[in-house]
Structure 1
């Protein structure tokens, strides 16, 4: 599904549902192929899933099963290769990052945003589901940054469960939020069909709620297929600032694409009811 606008400021946005496994080299090849196709079709912003480079964990109950996904460093050649291929396209992708922090080697779920000019912004996943904290460290901030498609913020899957995460980015000026996921079906209450799965419903609910709460354009990618004990949902989508789904995929691979004038739709959503301006932070509790 595609929305259109005659305004020359419109951008074409694509959220990917795709399977990326543990082979980093194959992940790079697949990412380059998707980026190449996006450039040919005029995409301005492409959001690939979390784990584009190296996949994700195999089991959240026992995250040591299958080992930690292969990790790369911040300035690695793999990310540089995607940046070179991106050219004018703004591309977001996820990976496992290894870094030395306070003299200790740590592994993070990380995301990066690049163009042919290099790295525009980064994010380390802050919120961790059960099990993940046993093998991965947590990030500690949410920061928006400027891109050719406007001011943008990054989140990684479980981050979107917490309203404060996307709100922090919106308060930092993000008008588009890219949420990169490796979001599986429920591991405790499996449904026979993915559309009936509890996590499937939550994935969609959070996408629309976070977009509407902050009145931003929301671009949600996700893994597909199976990694170990995890079955990923797909369900990539582009959501408007009113919580309306502009484009989406199913559980199989594909791109959800929409053409949107971001400033126009955000300004229109905030014209009468401006959620960020009408907050009452003096009344909110921040601790239990």
Structure 2
């Protein structure tokens, strides 16, 4: 039995990169003290997310960091033998991407650029082009960035590429158009949990979902970090406040049990699906 401790973070990160890095260091230390081997930090943990999705202010965007930025190198050093997934605004020349890397003390294991973008992001970030899983000391992992998980094809692509654990890094806000008086009643709070559970269950994988908390500009973030089993059951979670959800999972055994009778990936009928056409 090979147990893996998986930790997903709910926390606030803003524009102050030094503050963000200090907070990441503290979270890594807390996760290490709990025995975590995989730590999933939120989207935009270095530099914060957009303050406005309707009309982003070009003068107050997240700082754009090159893929070899010293702060990312520092996160890798802090990670040591832990696998840490962290989100940031990636600079590729003059082009920006909403991006994430998975690192250990040995360096970068995997990268992802957010593919699916809500309207406000399109004026700030270019879209990524692919979903790919990657090997880690803990097994094969894939990453999604917030709106990516709205689309079943995203997680399915990673599962078909062998991902046993999917890390979903988010800066997921409450509803912008119809905010509820209580966060627990917000439409986006319900959808955030629904997508996490559905993506895990339909692919029969373990899913670790992080998210920002607090507020930035007109954005109020949900928190609700969690670890979900391959049956869609929530194994550990936070609520709206900052915290770390930690669950101990025998990933191989859990996947084997979930797929023993009904094997969703193996029972697909691709020839029956209309891909890319009009309904």
> What CA deviation, in whole Å up to 9, does each residue of 1:56-114 have, x standing for no partner?
000011112662211111011101101111111110010000003xxxx2000000000
Equivalenced residue count is: 277
User: Structure 1: how far apart are the matches of 2:227 and 2:33?
Assistant: 20
User: Structure 2: how far apart are the matches of 1:266 and 1:64?
Assistant: 44
The equivalent residue for 2:120 is: 131
Select 2:165's aligned residue among 161, 176, 184. Answer: 176
Select 1:112's aligned residue among 76, 101, 105. Answer: 101
Select 1:90's aligned residue among 75, 83, 90. Answer: 83
Q: Return the offset for 1:30.
A: 0.6
The equivalent residue for 1:199 is: 188
Q: RMSD over aligned Cα, in angstroms?
A: 0.8
The equivalent residue for 2:51 is: 58
The equivalent residue for 1:143 is: 132
User: Structure 2: how far apart are the matches of 1:30 and 1:66?
Assistant: 25
**TM-score normalized by the length of structure 2:** 0.98
Secondary structure, aligned partner of 2:119: coil
The equivalent residue for 1:79 is: 72
Farther-moved stretch of structure 1 (173-182 vs 31-40): 31-40
User: Structure 2: how far apart are the matches of 1:248 and 1:42?
Assistant: 17
**TM-score normalized by the length of structure 1:** 0.95
Q: Structure 2: give runs of 5+ residues left out of the alignment.
A: none
Select 1:217's aligned residue among 200, 206, 228. Answer: 206
The equivalent residue for 2:20 is: 27
Report whether the alignment pairs 1:185 with 2:180: no
Select 1:45's aligned residue among 34, 38, 42. Answer: 38
User: Structure 1: how far apart are the matches of 2:265 and 2:95?
Assistant: 35
Report whether the alignment pairs 1:246 with 2:239: no
The equivalent residue for 2:148 is: 159
Tell me, yes or no, if the aligned pair for 1:57 and 1:66 is still in contact at 8 Å. Answer: no
Farther-moved stretch of structure 1 (32-41 vs 229-238): 32-41
